Structure 1
Amino acid sequence: MAAAITIEVVETGDLGDRSYIAHDGTTAVVVDPQRDIDRVVARAGELRVQIAAVAETHIHNDYVTGGFQLAQETGADYLVNGEDPVAFERVAVHDGDERTYGGLRVRVVATPGHTHTHLAFVVDAVAGDESPAVFTGGSLLFGSVGRTDLLGEEHTDALTRAQFRTAHKLADTLPDDTGVYPTHGFGSFCSSGSASGGDSSTIGDQKQVNDALTETDEDAFVTRLVANLTAYPAYYAHMAPRNLEGPAPIDLSAPEPVDAAELRRRISAGEWVVDLRSRTVYPGGHLDGSVGIELGGQFSTYLGWLIPWGTPLTLLAESADDVAAAQRQLVRIGIDRPDGQAVGDIGDLAGSDGLASYPRVDFKELQRHFEGEHEGSVVLDVRRDDERAAGGVRGSAHVPMHGLLDRLDEVPEGRLWVHCAAGFRASIAASLLARAGRDVVLVDDAYDHAEELGLTSSDASQP
Structure 2
Amino acid sequence: MDVAIIETSGLGDRSYLIGAEGIAVVIDPQRDIDRVLDLARARGVRITHVLETHIHNDYVTGGLELSRTVGAEYVVPTGDEVGYQRRAVGDGDVIAAGPLRLQVMHTPGHTHNHVSYVLHDAAGTVAGVFTGGSMLHGTTGRTDLLGSEHTEELTHAQFRSVRRLAAELPDHTQVYPTHGFGSFCSATPASGDASTIADQRQDNPALTQDEQSYVDQLIAGLAAYPAYYAHMGVINTQGPDPVDLSLPQPVDARELRRRIGAGEWVVDLRNRTAFAAGHLGGTLGFELSDSFVTYLGWLYSWGSPLTLIGDDQSQIADARRELARIGVDNLTGSAVDDIRSLTGDEPLRSYRVADFADLAEALRTHDLSVLDVRQTGEFADGHVPGALNIPLHEITVRLGEIPVGEVWVHCASGYRSSIAASLIDRDDRTVVLVDDGFDRAEELGLVR
TM range (shorter): over 0.9
- Correspondence for 1:428: 419
What is the distance in 2 between the residues matched to 1:359 and 1:99?
A: 58
Deviation digits for residues 266-308 of structure 1, max 9, x if unmatched? Answer: 1111101100000121101011110000001011111000011
The reply to whether residue 41 of structure 1 matches residue 71 of structure 2 is: no
The reply to whether residue 176 of structure 1 matches residue 171 of structure 2 is: yes
What is the distance in 1 between the residues matched to 2:170 and 2:398?
A: 51
Q: How far is 1:438 from its partner?
A: 3.6
Q: How far is 1:414 from its partner?
A: 2.6
> Contact 2:305–2:330 at 8 Å: present in 1 too?
no
In structure 2, relative to structure 1, the CA distance for the partners of 1:436 and 1:245 (3 Å cut) is farther
Q: TM-score, normalised by structure 1?
A: 0.95
In structure 2, relative to structure 1, the CA distance for the partners of 1:21 and 1:352 (3 Å cut) is same
Deviation digits for residues 18-67 of structure 1, max 9, x if unmatched? Answer: 00001113111100000000000110011111101000000000000000
- Correspondence for 1:390: 381
Deviation digits for residues 369-420 of structure 1, max 9, x if unmatched? Answer: 110122xx20010000110111100111111111100111222333210000
Tell me the SS of whatever aligns to 2:407. Answer: strand
In structure 2, relative to structure 1, the CA distance for the partners of 1:12 and 1:435 (3 Å cut) is farther
The reply to whether residue 245 of structure 1 matches residue 238 of structure 2 is: yes
> Contact 1:290–1:435 at 8 Å: present in 2 too?
no
Moved more, 391-400 or 58-67: 391-400
What is the distance in 1 between the residues matched to 2:44 and 2:229?
A: 35
For 1:226, the aligned partner's letter is I
Structure 1 vs Structure 2: percent identity of aligned residues? 55
Q: Which among 42, 52, 64 is matched to residue 56 of structure 1?
A: 52
**Considering only aligned residues, what root-mean-square deviation do their CA atoms show, in Å?**
1.2
The reply to whether residue 409 of structure 1 matches residue 400 of structure 2 is: yes
- Correspondence for 1:192: 187
> Contact 1:430–1:440 at 8 Å: present in 2 too?
yes
In structure 2, relative to structure 1, the CA distance for the partners of 1:371 and 1:349 (3 Å cut) is same
What is the distance in 2 between the residues matched to 1:438 and 1:6?
A: 57
Consecutive unaligned residues of structure 1, counting only runs of 5 or more, are 458-463
Tell me the SS of whatever aligns to 1:54. Answer: strand
What is the distance in 2 between the residues matched to 1:437 and 1:252?
A: 40
What is the distance in 1 between the residues matched to 2:78 and 2:360?
A: 59
For 2:276, the aligned partner's letter is P
Q: Which among 303, 318, 324 is matched to residue 325 of structure 1?
A: 318
Q: Which among 85, 91, 97 is matched to residue 87 of structure 2?
A: 91
Tell me the SS of whatever aligns to 2:331. Answer: coil
In structure 2, relative to structure 1, the CA distance for the partners of 1:129 and 1:79 (3 Å cut) is closer
For 1:207, the aligned partner's letter is R
Deviation digits for residues 170-197 of structure 1, max 9, x if unmatched? Answer: 0000111111100000000100124124
For 1:214, the aligned partner's letter is T
- Correspondence for 1:300: 293
- Correspondence for 1:256: 249
Tell me the SS of whatever aligns to 1:415. Answer: strand
Q: TM-score, normalised by structure 2?
A: 0.98
What is the distance in 2 between the residues matched to 1:254 and 1:248?
A: 17
> Contact 1:291–1:435 at 8 Å: present in 2 too?
no
Consecutive unaligned residues of structure 2, counting only runs of 5 or more, are none
Q: How far is 1:129 from its partner?
A: 5.2
Tell me the SS of whatever aligns to 1:416. Answer: strand
For 1:168, the aligned partner's letter is R
In structure 2, relative to structure 1, the CA distance for the partners of 1:36 and 1:437 (3 Å cut) is farther
Tell me the SS of whatever aligns to 1:234. Answer: coil
- Correspondence for 1:353: 346
What is the distance in 2 between the residues matched to 1:330 and 1:30?
A: 22
1:52-131 equivalences under 5 Å are 52-125=48-121, 127-128=122-123, 130-131=125-126
What is the distance in 1 between the residues matched to 2:80 and 2:430?
A: 49
What is the distance in 2 between the residues matched to 1:323 and 1:435?
A: 27
The reply to whether residue 206 of structure 1 matches residue 200 of structure 2 is: yes
- Correspondence for 2:362: 369
- Correspondence for 1:135: 130
Tell me the SS of whatever aligns to 2:272. Answer: coil
Aligned pairs, number: 448
Q: How far is 1:132 from its partner?
A: 2.0
